[in-house]
A and B are shown apart, each in its own frame.
Chain A
Amino acid sequence: MVKIRPEFADEIKKFGGVDFNACYNCGNCTAVCPLSVTDNTFPRRLLRYTVLGMEEDIQASTDPWLCYYCGDCSSTCPRQANPGEIMMALRRYLTASYDWTGLSRKFYTSKKWGIGSLVLIGIVVILLFAFFLPFTADPAGLINEDGGVKINHFVKGMDGETFVKTIEIGDLVMAAIITFFLVSNIFNMYLKIVIRNAKKVKVPFSLYVKEAWNLFYHFGTQMRFSKCEGKSYWLLHWLLMSGYTLMFTVIVVFLPWFQTEKIHPIYHPQRFIGYYATFGILLAIIVWSVNRLRKSGEIHKYSHKTDWVFLIMLFLTTLTGIMLHIFRITGMVHFTYYTYVIHLAILVPMLLVEVPFSKWSHLAYRPLAIYFTNLVNKAAALKKK
């Protein structure tokens, strides 16, 4: 027996659900969806849960993560109830519901919290650097033999190695915070989906191991996305994802290798990786921003405020990154240093907020959802046998 909670729908509207009440349950959306399968029928079922306020069922469901928003459901919906957008809203809602701190919900539903947190962390970053102001005064000795700025000689009296070490420690602290929140959220997700699953099955340990390859496969390729119509979308998304992941890994794990004084030749992997990532990320930002502004295609019809914050932050990060690079190789010392600070003041809050609490978290949730779905479905199949 389930109690109907009509007020739940209002909450989902805050997460970006639009017009979903118009649904008359014809099932067209589910039938046209290339990803919907017998064991996981969506989006109508999830939309129905939303209308009726069946929160537990939604939280135990992986379906929103299995949807890659090709928009076929919305564009053919006879009542224009935007089933695709409800899946998007539910992804935001789920992100918030996995987050035990409650911050995610605040970031999503309150403008004050969303923007405030970013600004606050940005200020903290700037203040940390401000302690060393003014940065090394005499620019003359800070130019390399190849004409570039010595990036690691910010601070008077701190040698390059120590500087990189310091920043690296900062990086690792940030990574640890991110990891802590993300992993605990993931554990929460695991509890909701696998432990309290609707199919009431216990997943044997061997299955965890057997299905693990899926996790990596889907993380690396996002093959499910390509099942949606429009391969170019998959490619664009993949470019962004791979570029972003590469950069993240390089900065957090291989900073001394990446942030070198020496300016390597253009074909050097260090620069090559940077360019590849910049290209992928920038292309994606431009295409998506234009689409969102034009509201072209179902998936860009509705933009939640967090979608814009995300795009803008990513864009500013990339832009300051590019500027930093140009200033450095052209030997503009002060510009380089100040831009570096601004770059970090954007990058750090973006990562801290977006990765565990907001949009970026789908990087982890999507492949995990596929993994968990397989676990539950296969365990259920075993039980049936």
Chain B
Amino acid sequence: MTPDEVKYDVVVVGGGIAGQEAALNLANSDQQVLLVEKDLSIGGHMIHLSKVFPTLDCGACITTPKMSETVRHPNIRVSTFSEFTEIERLSDGTFTGLLTRHPKYVIEKDCTGCQDCEDACPVVVKDQYQYGLVGRKAAYVPFSISNPRVAAIDIENCILCGACERACPADAIDFTQKIEKTKVSAGTVIIATGFNLFDPDVIEKYGLGKHRNVITSMQMERQLVPTRPYNNVLRPKDGKMPDNIAYVLCVGSRDQTLGNPICSQVCCMYSAKQGQLLMGALPMADVTIYYLHIRAFGKGFEEFYQQSIGMGVEYVKGKVGTIDEKENGDLVLRYEDIREGSIKEATHDLVVLSVGMLANPEAGTLFMNNALELDEFGYIRQVDMLRNPASTNIEGVFVAGTASGPMDIPDSIASSGAAAAEALSYLKRKS
């Protein structure tokens, strides 16, 4: 990209499912779209999921074709490892902003994704795309179905040994790359910056990090995907196949003491889904889900929940109070069985914390002269929920997906349609 100003009809910030969907909708209506993704690959959270409720399609089967459609669309330009900041609304209702492309130290067009650099690299760090379950190299292709599927050098951990440079058959490694900054103007901006996962480290009584067989639902999700790290579901402490798994719901959601009183809307369902998948992966295993209320509200959700009961997933009403570790790594959950009104202690050999969604604070930092208004939970405020649900307090800026609140995938996709439609109306009104 040249340092000169570049013009687009729409800039979409965030390349998750919501951003892609919004970009595709607009591109199919002949608008020129710039899609900006801060990560190395587009795909957002969804690309890392195993199968998705309630249809049980694999997340990848839905996302990968959408990703390639996005990347190949003649009206869409995708910029990964980039940020779009300092956005300003001009008096004519158009926008300018600064596109910052961080160097991957790999020449994208030359890289074939062969992973020879990865083999050569001597540095091993925790793999963020596998949620820390395994390691990766400092020269690495983010994940097997990433898009673009090109390598990047993790410069923070790189020891500059040059092994990757020597190993690369395409001479695609380039340590001289610099940050590129480009001024971009756009007719309208769509914010699809998504959500952050709740980090249950702060809940001491659950012992994540201390008890090694307590994991997060995202770590379980990674153990259930086809591209999974261990090729099996194993408990981290001793690599034993678990046969009595507990799910603790509402971890980080519906909890005033953690500052997040709202429901995350997806945890019940993904837990029911993981329960079903575990029944398939470990046929002998018991799965117990400790819940407050089952939020199986969407199309086909209640039926899906009933199906999980039919498959043998056990549901116990009661919030888990404490988790203690036994010497053999098993975990003792103390809870009140609400239906019986009695205190119980149950032993499980693997505990999954079904973590909720939190607002991504990034959305609030993108603008220069107008502050993007957030709601009390830190999500982008929808100013006209009963007419134009994608509208924000800045005219011409629209929100798609979980940037405006917790949502499941179908809801995210619908809200992206709304953002695209409102953006298109805005553009047509201006022209």
Q: Which residues of A contact B (CB under 8 A)?
A: 24-28, 30-33, 36-38, 41, 44-45, 75-80
Contact = CB atoms under 8 A, between A and B. Distances in A.
Contacts of B334: 31-32
Contacts of A30: 321, 336, 343
B91 interface: no
Contacts of A26: 250, 292, 318-319, 338
Contacts of B343: 30-31, 36-38, 41
Contacts of A79: 256
B95 interface: no
Given A26-B292, A41-B341, A31 B254 contact: no
B379 interface: no
Interface centre among B254, B257, B292, B319 (most CB of A within 10 A): B319
Contacts of A32: 205, 321-322, 334
B323 to A, nearest CB: 10
Contact of B254 (A38, A45, A78): A78
Contacts of A44: 336
B354 to A, nearest CB: 14
Question: For this complex, into which size category does the number of interface residues on chain B fall?
Answer: 20 to 34
Interface string B308-346: 000000000011111000000000001111100111000
Nearest to B204: A76
Interface of B: 205, 250, 254-258, 292-293, 318-322, 334-338, 341-343
B257 A27 contact: no
Contacts of B255: 78
A238 B177 CA distance: 70
Given A30-B321, A31-B318, A31-B321, A80 B341 contact: no
A26 B320 CA distance: 9
A78 B250 contact: yes
Nearest to B293: A24
A77 B261 CA distance: 11
Nearest to B253: A78
Nearest to B334: A31
A31 B317 CA distance: 13
Name, among A27, A30, A32, A79, the residue most crowded by chain B CB atoms within 10 Å (CB to CB): A27
Given A33-B321, A77-B256, 10 more contacts: A25-B338, A31-B334, A32-B205, A32-B321, A32-B322, A44-B336, A45-B341, A78-B254, A80-B256, A80-B257
Contacts of B338: 25-27
Given A75-B257, A78-B255, A28 B342 contact: no
21 contacts: A26-B319, A26-B338, A28-B319, A28-B321, A30-B336, A30-B343, A31-B318, A31-B319, A31-B334, A31-B343, A32-B205, A32-B322, A32-B334, A37-B343, A41-B336, A75-B257, A76-B205, A77-B257, A78-B255, A78-B258, A78-B319
